[in-house]
A and B are shown apart, each in its own frame.
Chain A
Amino acid sequence: MARNVTKNRKLAMTVLAWAIGILIFFPILWTILTSFKTEAEAIASPPSFLFFDWTLDNYREVQERSNYFRHFSNSVIISLGSTILGLAIAIPAAWSMAFVPGRRTKDVLMWMLSTKMLPPVGVLIPIYLIFRDTGLLDTLTGLTIVLMLINLPIIIWMLFTYFREIPGEILEAARMDGAGLKAEIIHVLTPMAVPGIASTLLLNIILAWNEAFWTLNLTAAKAAPLTAFIASYSSPEGLFYAKLSAASTMAIAPILILGWFSQKQLVRGLTFGAVK
């Protein structure tokens, strides 16, 4: 009888969890479905759920009307560029703090984190004016630099927590075997550090892709990534639900896929080791 009870319980939990999961996911699902409808069907009442004439016209139209792929590639360039640049600066820093910690290392780490707590409006005007005067406004270079800087503390912290898990004894063993510093780094440390670096890369691409304060305030037509492009749908003309859905689906699809791979890193990356 006890087994029966647990089985019923498992069934009830399954039904409940699936119902809530689908409810939470529904806005995304609805967006994806609407992107395949015609504009008339998109606002039909009662709405059709699956039985409508599936069409790809919206995707074609979004691209033709607004050169969607330029904004898409802006997003790719900005998020990849800022992450890689950030890694190049953060890897040596996190490395030295993890393997050669000094008396001040903790203070430095905490201070770096505190820069992340700075609300963006606190520096909006100076950054805007500096960008205006140096011609960086509405450029990919400018946005890449800003996104690199706002995510740098997170990158350093994530790498630091990963590097700390590499046991120091391995280094000593390699040294005993006569490995030089260069060989030590290339053959021993790098292979052990790669998974951590990959996770950091993934999470920061996601954060940069979805960043929506600086991308909205520092770009106009030219360098606008998808966050800013989608925002242009806030003052629409005519029927636009299906087109909005198509543009949205393309904007979130790559990150949804990356995001599912990085669930675990999300906790580590955004809680700074405070929850394990």
Chain B
Amino acid sequence: MATAHSRSAARIMISPAVILLLGWMLIPLSMTLYFSFLRYNLLMPGTHDWAGFLNYRFFLTDPAFFAALKNTLILVGGVLAITIVGGVLLAILLDQPMWGQGIVRILVIAPFFVMPTVGALVWKNMFMNPVNGLFASLAKGIGMQPFDFLGEAPLASIILMVAWQWLPFATLILLTALQSLDSDQLEAAEMDGAGPLSRFFHIMLPHLARAITVVVLIQTIFLLSVFAEILVTTNGGPGYATTNITYLVYAQSLLQFDVGGGSAGGIVAVILANIVAIFLMRMIGKNLDI
């Protein structure tokens, strides 16, 4: 059906998008790669000496890097654990017959639409503040000492904030997947005397496996780059307690003006993200038939 004429027209139609994305990916990324081999600090204009792998050596042996790597893994892992377990349970709950299902759905999904800086500041000040926060009021109300969330357990507090924002996403996708489950199958299992637990583990969970994998991969891509929540609540502190890789690279480049070191960190972040991206791309590619 496609003629040579329509093929060349198609090529013209697609070229602006390809050229823009190519430029957006290649030019800055190769610049980052190039900078990462230079001794280049914005506070010392003029010095662009070749540094070889020095920046990488400094970045990868810096205790801050290990702290940031550990925090990144804990942050991603913690949020994934909460959102997957919570998302599966919520999806199953929302799939049950009930009154006002549409409204409950809206309530559950809402946090996903709250901008990260708003969500983080509301949690930090109005809930977690040890003096004026709502949690402190509740604690005092039942005669307990208020807990200083961001002081005593900063990373856990940020995990809670981020999980609150991503729980709706996991729930929504798992609910979509659950609704495609054949209800005859569940009924047949019930007839055969399978209890709710065995129905969950033998029918629902296998059916959801694919959706869970997709949620894990997509969330990981976004969670590796958590930034605003850290910037407005803890600035990466106390010490390096809440610094993740993204925040570390930001601090090194735009706060310490160390272009070389920051670039090396940026390349490390790209490599980490790519490890996840390869799996995600493979899953998406399998589903795409042209």
Contacting residue for B290 out of A25, A96, A106, A263, CB 8 A: A106
Chain B, residues 8-34, CB within 8 Å of chain A (1/0): the string is: 011101101110110011011101100
Contacts of A275 in B (CB 8 A): 173, 176-177, 210-211, 214
Interface residue A220 (Cβ < 8 Å from any Cβ of B)? no
Residue contact B269 to A106, C-beta cutoff 8 Å = no
A105-B2 Cα distance, complex, nearest whole Å: 14
Query: Given A20-B93, A22-B107, A24-B167, do A90 and B17 touch, yes or no (CB 8 Å)?
Result: yes
Interface residue A195 (Cβ < 8 Å from any Cβ of B)? no
Interface residue B122 (Cβ < 8 Å from any Cβ of A)? yes
Residue contact B228 to A47, C-beta cutoff 8 Å = no
Contacts of B276 in A (CB 8 A): 117
Q: Which residues of B approach A to under 8 Å, CB–CB?
A: 1-2, 6-7, 9-11, 13-14, 16-18, 20-21, 24-25, 27-29, 31-32, 35, 90, 93-94, 96-101, 103-119, 121-127, 132, 134, 136-137, 140-141, 164, 167-169, 172-173, 176-177, 180, 210-211, 214, 218, 221, 224-225, 227-228, 231-233, 245-246, 249-250, 253-254, 259, 262-263, 265-267, 269-270, 272-274, 276-277, 280-281, 283-285, 287-288, 290
Q: Is the interface of A mostly helix, strand, loop or mixed?
A: helix
Cβ of B176 to closest chain A Cβ, rounded Å: 5
Contacts of A167 in B (CB 8 A): none
- The 29 sampled A-B contact pairs (Cβ below 8 Å) are A13-B93, A31-B126, A47-B137, A90-B17, A93-B18, A96-B9, A96-B13, A112-B17, A112-B21, A115-B25, A116-B221, A118-B25, A121-B250, A121-B269, A122-B28, A122-B29, A123-B29, A212-B115, A212-B116, A213-B225, A213-B227, A217-B254, A227-B115, A228-B117, A231-B231, A234-B231, A236-B125, A241-B132, A273-B284
- B-contacting residues, A150-178, CB 8 Å: 152-153, 156, 168, 172
Q: Specify the chain B residue showing the minimal Cβ separation from A100.
A: B10
Interface residue A134 (Cβ < 8 Å from any Cβ of B)? no
Contacting residue for B164 out of A27, A149, A210, A245, CB 8 A: A27
Contacts of A231 in B (CB 8 A): 117, 121, 228, 231-232
Residue contact A96 to B281, C-beta cutoff 8 Å = no
Cβ of B19 to closest chain A Cβ, rounded Å: 10
A233-B253 Cα distance, complex, nearest whole Å: 24
Query: Given A13-B96, A275-B214, do A28 and B270 touch, yes or no (CB 8 Å)?
Result: no
Residue contact A27 to B35, C-beta cutoff 8 Å = no
- B-contacting residues, A225-248, CB 8 Å: 226-228, 230-231, 233-234, 236, 240-241, 244-245, 248
Q: Specify the chain B residue showing the minimal Cβ separation from A153.
A: B21
Contacting residue for B262 out of A93, A109, A124, A273, CB 8 A: A124
Interface residue A67 (Cβ < 8 Å from any Cβ of B)? no
Query: Given A13-B97, A47-B134, A210-B116, do A118 and B21 touch, yes or no (CB 8 Å)?
Result: no
Contacts of A244 in B (CB 8 A): 121-122, 125-126
Contacts of A110 in B (CB 8 A): 281, 284-285, 288
Interface residue A179 (Cβ < 8 Å from any Cβ of B)? no
Residue contact B228 to A89, C-beta cutoff 8 Å = no
Cβ of B55 to closest chain A Cβ, rounded Å: 12
Residue contact B100 to A18, C-beta cutoff 8 Å = yes
A33-B238 Cα distance, complex, nearest whole Å: 32
Interface residue A191 (Cβ < 8 Å from any Cβ of B)? no
Contacting residue for A263 out of B105, B232, B273, B288, CB 8 A: B105
Residue contact A25 to B116, C-beta cutoff 8 Å = no
Contacts of A34 in B (CB 8 A): 126
Residue contact B121 to A233, C-beta cutoff 8 Å = yes
A108-B10 Cα distance, complex, nearest whole Å: 13
Chain A, residues 84-122, CB within 8 Å of chain B (1/0): the string is: 000001101101110111100110111011111111111
Residue contact B137 to A46, C-beta cutoff 8 Å = yes
